[in-house]
Chain A
Amino acid sequence: MNKLGVTLVVIVVVIVAGVAFSLYSPPSETANLDMGRTHGTISTAMGSPILGDPLAPITIVEFGDYQCEMCYRWFHTSKPLIVENYIETGKANLVFVDLAFLGRDSSKAAQATYCAEDQGRYWAFHDLLYNSQERVDDGWANSERLKAFAFSLDLDMELFDSCLDSGKYLKRIDYNIQQAKKHGVNSTPTFVVVGNDQEKQISGAQPFSVFKQILDTMV
C-alpha cells in the first residue's frame, strides 16, 4: 500500500472514530448562551441549562429554592416520573429558574449551581443539593459546604472558589427572582408548563398525576 493509501485509511479511521465517539459519549451540558431565551412569556435566559431535548414541544419552567422542603419533596416524588416519561422520551424539557427567598443560604446555593455550570456540571450540582438538603439555614448550604459539594463532583476548585466568593452570579439570581415575581409566582415550587401556545401554572409539590394530565393535553 502506498503512502497515499495509508493516509486515506488513517483519515477514514479518524473520521469513523470521531463519529462513533460523538454518538456514544454522554450528551454534554452546554451553558445557555442565548441571552434572549424565552419560554412563553417567561425570560429563562438567566435560568438553568435545558434538561432534555431543547427542541421538545413542551417546556416545564420550575421556580424553586434549594432550601425549600416542598421542592425537595417534588424532586424526590414527581420529578423522577416526569424525567422518565416526558423528558427522556423527548416530549418535554425542563428549565430551573431560581426563586431563592427562604434564607440567607438560598441565594448562595443558587449561585453555586451556576459556578458549577461554568464547568459543565449544573445538573449534577443541582441534584446533589436536593439530595443533601437539610434544615433552612442550618449550615448545610453555606459557602464551605457548597465548596465541599463542588470538590465531591471533581470540579476545578480554584475556578469554583473564585466564582462563588466573587458573587459573580448574584445579579443572575436577582434577575431570576424578578422574573418569578413578574409572573406572579409567590411560592416554591411553582411550575409553568409552556407548549402549544399555552401556559399553565401549577403551584406546589403536586403529584405526577397532575403533571401527566396537563402534559398529555399539550403533547
Chain B
Amino acid sequence: MTSAINLVFSNSKYLLLSAVIFSSMLVGLLILSEYVFINPYVVSHIPSGTEFGFVLIVAISALSALVLPMNIFRINTLKKSKQKMGGSVFGSVVGAAAGACSCGPIGFAVISTFGSVGATATAFLTNYEIPIRMIAVGILAVTYFTTVKSIKTECAFDPDL
C-alpha cells in the first residue's frame, strides 16, 4: 500500500496536484459550511456540536487529494481506462455537495432558479449532510483500496522489495 503511494507521489507533479486538490477542497468546503469566513475579516469558528462535520470535511478533502491523483496516474502512466476514476470523482462531488447548499448563496440560487424542485433537493442535501458525507468518505475509502490494488497488479511490483 505504502509502495503504491510512494510510486505515485514520488513524481512531484502528482504531489503538487494532491496539494492543490486538498487545499482547494478544504478551504472551499470550510467556507461553504461556515467554519471559515473571509468577509469582513478572515476568521475560523467551530461552534460546539459541529465538530464531527468539520472532521468529515477534512477526511473528504484528504481522501480526494489521495485518490484523485492516484487515478490520474493510472490513466496517464498505465494508459488504463477511466472507469475507476468515476468512484473518486463521484465520492468527492457527493461529499462536496452535501450541506453546500443549505441556507447559503448556492442554496438560494438553486431554489430561486428551480423553485420547489430546487427546494426539495436543497432540503435533502441539508437534512442528510452528515450521512451523505459519511457515505462519500466510504466511497473514497473503497476507491482508494481498489486503486492501490489496481496499481500494484498493473505495475506488478513486489511490495516487499
Contacts and interface: CB of A to CB of B under 8 A. Distances in A.
Interface of A: 65, 68-71, 73, 76-77, 101-104, 135-138, 186-189, 200, 202-207, 209-210, 213-214
A186 B109 contact: yes
A207 B127 contact: no
A200 B43 CA distance: 17
Interface stretch (B12-20, B59-67, B99-107, B152-160): B99-107
A210 B103 contact: no
A6 to B, nearest CB: 63
A102 B123 CA distance: 7
Interface residues of B, number: 25
Specify the main secondary structure of chain A where it touches its partner. Answer: loop
17 contacts: A68-B102, A70-B102, A77-B48, A101-B112, A102-B122, A136-B123, A186-B105, A186-B109, A202-B40, A203-B37, A203-B39, A204-B37, A207-B43, A209-B43, A210-B40, A210-B41, A214-B40
B34 A205 contact: yes
A136 B118 CA distance: 13
Interface string B105-122: 101110110001001001
Contacts of A77: 47-48
Contacts of A69: 102-103, 126
B50 interface: yes
Nearest to A72: B103
Interface string B122-147: 11001100000000000000000000
A200 B39 CA distance: 11
Contact of B41 (A103, A187, A213): A213
B103 A71 contact: yes
Given A73-B50, A101-B111, A135-B126, 18 more contacts: A65-B103, A68-B103, A69-B103, A70-B34, A70-B103, A101-B112, A102-B107, A102-B123, A103-B119, A135-B123, A137-B123, A187-B105, A202-B40, A203-B39, A204-B104, A205-B34, A210-B37, A213-B41
Kindly name the residue among A68, A71, A214 whose own CB sees the greatest number of chain B CB atoms within 10 A. A68
B108 to A, nearest CB: 5
Contacts of B111: 101-102
A206 B105 contact: no
